[in-house]
């Protein structure tokens, strides 16, 4: 048990609450569950084990995220498989885990108003249970009676009976209002503290709201784009999910017999279980978004579809897509699954899970015009993925190495300066275990076609201190380590783990990697700098600073290379910035730089930091 629960009055009564008894008569046992967080308990007398309860699984995800920095999108599929949950139970567990993590900031503001104790004084397991209960009460169609009673039962099971009165009283207080009414009470006044209001309403830390505002520039307070379709009276974080009440109402798209691979993505079953979520994060608190910044924040709370990438040198996308899949909007290799397990497609090498924005980043590098062709007589162009793990972009580049235009989007082509000779891809990765994943991904992709599309090598190397000579490569991709704040809809816990101070170390590394990439590319060659973050400190600031301090560097027109994708120009129009609310992708940043001349002082030597 976490903490000391001896004095029951420790938690007192929340403001305005009466009574300490649980709502209704719960059937759950009063004792504690001291079993492990994972496993396949069989229960007694034919009853399902407590650990297989959807709410217990959601709690275990929250606990693991808090205690050992687990990733919810990796852990949850494993728990569903281990505990054999499918159908509507899996849908409920998914909605509770992801929805609670997404809405944590808003729920904490409401819970703080309903408790006479500061939330930071509560033992973490108690707060986890309260957050799960608040999500059910404010953002799902679970009845108030059931939401409170099951939360009390969960508290008894994972903490002990002495906290049940406190949990009951706080959640009864939460249940007195809907989300919109609570926001009117707990959110700062939007007229005097706009970012504070948006942070509470859309459940983002204030510093991320400010960073998004800077990334959007003058457009932040402008009208939301037409692609965002408003849904009236929708809840804040993921929209209400109506939990099926009978076996006949179980969702059609189950978790493929609950057999997802560890670490693989599973199409969100909650979306197939009666979710009212609108497209591209259209469901916003209190009605439609009125500004682009609101639309961007709301998109971080939307449930994304699982997006996959076919192999460019393999069978056509139409032959790879399973029944019910839909082609992507921008990449000729992208398609999405409304539900189900993509593991069979991944195992065959026909596709991998990859956001469409990430696909566009690799395509942009392959398209970008180099200033001059490779030297006469050269056997092949050489491409480099400087930060290759776990291998998604390397795989796409590998498939693009033999394409000269037919499979590309309109107006494409691998690049006006590209050689028609086979291309050699080098994938560099600092960590050996991630390098092994890259090698496996490339080898699996190669087996999916009759003839391997090109040569490749995977090397374990520090991208800031690479072992190759300067000017070795024609094209270099820098998929830089970043905050990941462009993928909050896929990683709901990420927003609560990061702080503005974390960016200082990251941006120093990003600058070092971009300098090494520019040194690695030949004169006339191209570097693509890519992050899954729209934050200026990690994107435009890094690129403009490095370009200004590196003689012979030219910044190219990245949006022009992706001309068929509208609305990509960032506040600095030379850079492309994708957005979930505009493009349905992660918030991927893409900059293209060309090395225009050799540094006269440099010799053909190994790159040094």
Catalytic residue numbers read: 532
Cβ-proximal residues to 396 (8 Å cutoff; 6+ apart), any chain: 309, 312, 333, 354, 358, 359, 362, 363
Task: Indicate left, alpha or beta for 605 from its phi (over 0: left) and psi (-120 to 50: alpha).
Answer: beta
Helix (H) or strand (E) segment spanning residue 326: strand 326-327
Cβ-proximal residues to 68 (8 Å cutoff; 6+ apart), any chain: none
Instruction: Give the other-Cβ count within 10 Å of 263's Cβ.
Output: 14
DSSP state of 488: T
Q: Which two tokens stand for residue 53?
A: 């309860």
Instruction: Output phi, psi for 399, to 5 deg.
Output: -70, -25
Of 73, 577, 582, give the one whose Cα is nearest residue 360: 577
Cα torsion angle, 337, 339, 344, 346, sign: positive
Q: Which two tokens stand for residue 421?
A: 């000779």
Q: Which two tokens stand for residue 590?
A: 């893409």
Instruction: Output phi, psi for 102, to 5 deg.
Output: -65, -45
Contact 364, 476 (CB under 8 A): no
How far is Cα 118 from Cα 365, in angstroms, rounded to an integer?
51
Q: Which two tokens stand for residue 150?
A: 């099951």
Cβ-proximal residues to 438 (8 Å cutoff; 6+ apart), any chain: 388, 389, 390, 391, 394, 427, 429, 458
The 3-state DSSP composition of the chain as helix, strand, coil percent (nearest 5) reads 40, 10, 45
Contact 534, 485 (CB under 8 A): yes
Beta bridge mates, 308: 335, 353
Residue 451, judged by CB atoms within 10 A of its CB (0-12, 13-18, 19+), counts as exposed
Q: Which residue has the tokens 């905050």?
A: 483
How far is Cα 88 from Cα 361, in angstroms, rounded to an integer?
37
Instruction: Give the other-Cβ count within 10 Å of 316's Cβ.
Output: 12
Q: Which two tokens stand for residue 240?
A: 């209400």
């Amino acid at each position: 048990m976490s903490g000391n629960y001896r004095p029951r009055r420790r938690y007192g009564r929340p403001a305005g609450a009466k009574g300490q008894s649980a709502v209704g008569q719960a059937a759950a046992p009063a004792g504690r569950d001291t079993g492990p967080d994972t496993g396949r308990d069989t229960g007694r007398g034919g009853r399902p084990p407590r650990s297989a309860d959807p709410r217990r699984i959601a709690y275990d995800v929250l606990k693991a995220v808090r205690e050992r920095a687990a990733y919810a999108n990796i852990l949850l599929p494993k728990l569903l498989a281990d505990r054999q949950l499918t159908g509507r139970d899996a849908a409920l567990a998914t909605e509770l885990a992801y929805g609670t993590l997404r809405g944590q900031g808003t729920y904490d503001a409401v819970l703080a108003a309903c408790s006479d104790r500061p939330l930071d004084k509560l033992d973490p397991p108690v707060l986890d249970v309260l957050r799960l209960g608040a999500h059910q009460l404010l953002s799902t169609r679970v009845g108030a009676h059931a939401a409170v009673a099951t939360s009390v039962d969960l508290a008894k099971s994972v903490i002990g009976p002495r906290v049940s009165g406190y949990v009951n009283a706080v959640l009864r207080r939460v249940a007195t209002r809907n989300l919109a009414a609570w926001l009117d009470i707990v959110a700062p006044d939007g007229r005097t503290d706009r970012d504070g209001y948006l942070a509470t309403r859309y459940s983002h830390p204030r510093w991320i709201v400010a960073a998004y505002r800077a990334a959007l520039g003058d457009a932040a307070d402008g009208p939301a784009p037409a692609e965002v379709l408003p849904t009236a009276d929708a809840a804040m974080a993921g929209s209400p999910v109506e939990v099926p009440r009978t076996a006949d109402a179980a969702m059609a798209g189950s978790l493929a017999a609950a057999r997802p691979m560890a670490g693989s993505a599973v199409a969100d079953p909650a979306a197939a279980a009666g979710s009212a979520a609108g497209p591209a994060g259209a469901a916003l608190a209190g009605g439609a978004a009125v500004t682009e910044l609101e639309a961007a924040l709301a998109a971080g709370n939307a449930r994304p579809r699982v997006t996959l990438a076919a192999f460019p040198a393999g069978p056509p996308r139409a032959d790879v897509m399973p029944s019910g899949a839909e082609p992507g909007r921008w990449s000729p290799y992208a398609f999405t699954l409304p539900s189900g397990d993509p593991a069979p497609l991944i195992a065959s090498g026909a596709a991998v899970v990859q956001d469409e924005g990430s696909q566009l980043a690799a395509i942009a590098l392959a398209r970008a015009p180099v200033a001059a062709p490779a030297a006469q007589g050269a056997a092949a162009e050489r491409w480099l993925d400087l930060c290759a793990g776990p291998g998604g972009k390397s795989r796409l580049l590998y498939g693009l190495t033999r394409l000269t235009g037919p499979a590309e989007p309109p107006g494409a082509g691998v690049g006006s300066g590209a050689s028609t000779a086979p291309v050699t891809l080098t994938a560099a990765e600092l960590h050996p275990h991630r390098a092994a994943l890259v090698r496996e991904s490339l080898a699996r992709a190669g087996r999916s076609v009759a003839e391997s599309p090109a040569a490749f090598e995977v090397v374990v190397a520090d991208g800031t201190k690479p072992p190759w000579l300067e000017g070795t490569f024609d094209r270099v991709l820098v998929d830089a380590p970043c905050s990941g704040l462009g993928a909050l809809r896929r990683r709901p816990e990420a927003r609560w783990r990061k702080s503005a101070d974390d960016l200082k170390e990251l941006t120093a590394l990003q600058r070092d990697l971009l300098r090494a990439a520019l040194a690695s590319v030949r004169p006339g060659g191209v570097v693509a700098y890519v992050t899954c973050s729209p934050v200026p400190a990690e994107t435009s600031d890094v690129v403009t600073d490095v370009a200004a301090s590196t003689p012979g560097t030219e910044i190219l027109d990245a949006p022009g290379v992706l001309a068929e994708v509208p609305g990509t120009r960032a506040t600095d129009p030379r850079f492309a910035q994708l957005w979930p609310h505009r493009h349905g992708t992660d918030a991927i940043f893409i900059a293209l730089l060309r090395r225009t001349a050799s540094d006269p002082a440099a010799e053909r030597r190994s790159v040094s930091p």
